[in-house]
Amino acid sequence: MHVTIRQLEVFETAARLLSYTRTAETLYMSQPAVSMQIKQLEENVGLPLFEMLGKKLYLTEAGKEFYIYSKDIFHLLDEAEAVVEAMKGLHRGRLKVSVATTASYFTTRLLAAFSKRFKGVQINLDVANRESLRQQLEENEPDLVIMGQPPDGIDVEAQAFMSNPLVMVAPADHALTNEKNIALSRFADEHFVVRETGSGTLGAIERFFTEHDVPFHTGIEMSSNEAIKQAVEAGLGLGIASIHTLELELETGRLVLLDVEDFPIRRQWYLVQRKGKRLSVVAKAFKDFVLTEAGQFIR
């Protein structure tokens, strides 16, 4: 059965008013146009919906049933319109964001502020490593991804929105804590506690040491930033990590920044999406929020 919204509108009005003349006036149509729409609808349904007895219009049994469903249909359409309009106004909607593990330290504050501003938005946050983020982008799962260097080999749109400096840290009692402008060459024989192979952070560190012609030795690879900080604090090696992951440790003095020449390693945080992806109103609002306000959520 092929029924148009216009046919339903004409039928619902005629069934309510039981008059083609008043239906035409209400819908600003001619009476022959109303009759034509009803006739086409009856042909599509395969049963008569109205009958004329004398000069009075009545619904047939099929018409009475169809009238009930037509009212339900228009009720649902009204609800759908209200939901869409609410989403346009950011009173409702869903946001799916995936972030690199390192970015989770400030992303939670970003999302908290966004959700306070747009209270009806339902947020889904996934914290994942670089390989998982790459796979998610390939499968076009999240609305937006916050990560370091955007992945190669995937057609994405990426916008840098904030610096992500990688710094060198040591335990508070390390011998180099009071030295200034330490030559990078002094770390040629040092072993470092770093993120796992394949992480964007480790890749950036290795490129940096190669560009400066200084050997880089990995002592221990860790799958989390928390484990790296604990290992450095325990004296298992020096660490190189995003300064955004070190807030508490630097504040309490458990770890200290080393003043090393050419440090920090300059990186950026990027907001990434599949190229050509049509963002929802909510996702667009979050994207604008990140690009314009992210910096104020870094302590």
> Which of these, 106, 117, 116, 109, lies nearest to 147 by C-alpha position?
106
Q: What average pLDDT values come out for the chain (299 residues) when binned by 10 residues?
A: 90 94 93 94 93 92 94 84 65 85 88 88 90 90 91 91 92 90 91 84 91 90 88 91 89 93 92 89 90 80
Q: Name residue 162's amino acid.
A: M
CA distance 98 to 188: 36
pLDDT for residue 29: 93
Which residues, other chains included, contact 145 with Cβ-Cβ below 8 Å and sequence gap of 6+?
97, 98, 99, 133, 136, 137, 271, 272, 273
CATH fold group of domain 93-163+268-297 = D-Maltodextrin-Binding Protein; domain 2 (3.40.190)
* Rounded-to-10 torsion of CA 157, 162, 166, 169: -150
Question: DSSP of 65-100, one letter per residue?
Answer: HHHHHHHHHHHHHHHHHHHHHHHHTTSSEEEEEEEE
CATH class of 5-88: mainly alpha
What pLDDT is stored for residue 30 in this prediction? Answer: 94
The pLDDT of residue 46 is 92
Are 223 and 128 in contact by the 8 Å Cβ rule? The answer is no
How many angstroms separate the CA atoms of 210 and 7, rounded? 72
Residue 26 near residue 13, CB atoms below 8 Å: yes
Name the residue ranges covered by the structural domains of the chain: 5-88, 93-163+268-297, 166-257
Is-same-fold flag (93-163+268-297; 166-257)? yes
* DSSP H or E stretch at residue 165: none
Run of H or E including 250: helix 247-252
Instruction: Enter the tokens of residue 295.
Output: 């910096």
Pairing of strands 268-274, 56-59: unpaired
pLDDT for residue 76: 86
For residue 142, give the DSSP letter: S
The CATH code belonging to domain 166-257 is 3.40.190.10
| DSSP codes, 54-66 | TTEEEE-HHHHHH
Q: Under 8 Å CB-to-CB from 168, ≥6 apart: which residues? A: 187, 238, 239, 240, 257, 258, 260, 263
Pairing of strands 93-100, 191-195: unpaired
